[in-house]
Structure 1
Amino acid sequence: MTAHQTDTARALLDAALMHVPFDGWSDATLAAAARDCGVDPALARAFYPRGGLDLALAYHRAGDAAMRAGLAARNDLATLRFRERIALAVRLRLENADREAVRRAAALLALPQNTPEAARALWNTADAIWTALGDTSEDGNWYSKRAILSGVYSATVLYWLGDDSEGAQDTWDFLDRRIEGVMRFEQNKARIKASPVLNATLGLPFRLLEQIRKPADMGPMPGRWSR
């Protein structure tokens, strides 16, 4: 898209947020946003062919972009432990989000016909976090890191949607517990790989992961292999 088209699409998305609490991510919301922006309805539909679904996905992508920008603006990442960097990325992702907009998007993406898009959006968020934090894995760990973080992130979002604690502190405590569980798993994996006996008996899945390569041509979840 040209810069003007990008600006128009973003203006429609911003205008839609005013209507989401009342009409959800829907065709009605897209039509209202077009009226507010003075955009021809046909042009608005060209930007968001599937109406509310494409609006919701655009909002999700915008949240990923805001999270990446927030991490890039930090100059203290190197001083943080890795679990703290992960927690920071997830916090930035949620603190930049509108809870009602996320709740309405979650309801829409939970519909059976939308589950592939939901899975792709979740995977892309996990990938955005790992990439922003400088992940250099090339083997099966590329997949496992994103799969595990997808589980942590989705569980945290669900908790956050129902959290009424001050400053969402209960959510951040929940997130810390989930990350701690993942770190214990990683520590146990390292112990298995370091022990000849345990590695011989329990290490086969990890050795298989080391033989898998990440996609050469990045694409939708989890990626596409080059042809």
Structure 2
Amino acid sequence: MTDDDPATDFGTDPTRGALLKAILPHVPFEGWSDRAFAAAAREAEVTLAEAQAAAPRGALDLAVEWHRQGDRRMLRALHDADPSTLRMRDRIAFALKARMQALPEREALRRSASLFALPSHAALGARLLWETADAIWTALGDSSRDGNWYSKRATLAAVLASVVLYRLSDDSPRLERTNAFIDRRIDGVMAFEKWKAEARDNPMLRPLARPLGWIMGQIRAPGRPADLPGGWRQED
């Protein structure tokens, strides 16, 4: 097995990884469904009880694992490429492109988008997008701890959602169209960030920008509980 094999990808429970590898060929036809989950259990040579112990929510847990596997592969690509010499705009674009390349199964992505669009799973889908945005900003060294911590991740999560939808219609061999779309979206975000910076120096907009900046400065990013083993305390 290679490092990219779902059954050996680091951070993955071995049984869940084996189930994920087995279910992927079924997802384009069956979706992330009970039927696909049962077929994966048979092909992974585990009992249905063992499969349910590894993935209590069945195929939904495997869809979540598949998304997070993409995040792990993206982080490996960022680590291997070391984009620290690039402009921040290019670092973000590189991360998004790496994320789209991480999981090439377009039909599985389409089924995942449909799954997490359901009202019962929409909150989970939003959480996964947020996790990806947070993973990107953290990997790129974001040090903000005020309201910008939230706004950066919310903006990137929205961009990522649009990129996923665009990717579903991209049949170019190396995702050239998706990569170009990412560049356009990042250009739009950076133009807005430039406008915000200029607004702080514009006498006409300063009365609005100043209180907004104060409010953002009062917001604090979440931290880990300080009383847990191995935890850390955020300095004020």
Tell me the TM-score normalized by structure 1: 0.89
* Equivalence for 1:99: 106
* Equivalence for 2:44: 37
* Equivalence for 2:211: 204
**Larger RCO: Structure 1 or Structure 2 (Cα < 8 Å, ≥ 6 residues apart)?**
1
User: In the TM superposition, what whole-angstrom CA distance separates every residue of 1:102-140 from its partner, at most 9, and x where no partner exists?
Assistant: 111111111111111111111111111111111111000
Alignment of 1:18-29 (within 5 A): 18-29=25-36
* Equivalence for 2:60: 53
Flag the 1:86–1:140 CA change in 2: closer, same or farther, 3 A: same
- Higher mean alpha-carbon deviation, 198-207 vs 35-44, is at 198-207
Distance 1:53 1:6 in 2: 15
Q: Check whether the contact 2:52–2:58 (CA below 8 A) recurs between aligned residues.
A: yes
* Equivalence for 1:221: none
User: In the TM superposition, what whole-angstrom CA distance separates every residue of 1:43-65 from its partner, at most 9, and x where no partner exists?
Assistant: 10111111121111110011111
Distance 1:177 1:210 in 2: 29
Correspondence for 1:12 among 1, 14, 19: 19
The structural deviation recorded for 1:190 is 1.0
* Equivalence for 1:173: 180
User: In the TM superposition, what whole-angstrom CA distance separates every residue of 1:9-36 from its partner, at most 9, and x where no partner exists?
Assistant: 1111111112111211111111111111
Distance 1:82 1:197 in 2: 29
Q: Check whether the contact 2:16–2:62 (CA below 8 A) recurs between aligned residues.
A: no
Q: Check whether the contact 1:140–1:213 (CA below 8 A) recurs between aligned residues.
A: yes
Are 2:101 and 1:118 aligned? no
Distance 1:201 1:53 in 2: 45
The structural deviation recorded for 1:167 is 2.2
Distance 2:173 2:28 in 1: 22
- Higher mean alpha-carbon deviation, 168-177 vs 104-113, is at 168-177
Partner SS for 2:68: helix
* Equivalence for 2:78: 71
The percentage of aligned residue pairs carrying the same residue is 50
The one-letter code sitting in structure 2 at the alignment partner of 1:83 is: R
Distance 2:39 2:109 in 1: 19
Higher share of residues assigned helix: 1
Q: Check whether the contact 2:37–2:59 (CA below 8 A) recurs between aligned residues.
A: yes
Structure 2 stretches lacking a partner, 5+ long: 1-9, 226-233
* Equivalence for 1:80: 86
Are 2:160 and 1:158 aligned? no
User: In the TM superposition, what whole-angstrom CA distance separates every residue of 1:47-92 from its partner, at most 9, and x where no partner exists?
Assistant: 11111211111100111111111101113x1221111111111111
The one-letter code sitting in structure 2 at the alignment partner of 1:215 is: P
Distance 1:20 1:141 in 2: 38
Q: Check whether the contact 1:192–1:203 (CA below 8 A) recurs between aligned residues.
A: no
Q: Check whether the contact 2:41–2:51 (CA below 8 A) recurs between aligned residues.
A: yes
Query: How many equivalent residue pairs?
Result: 215
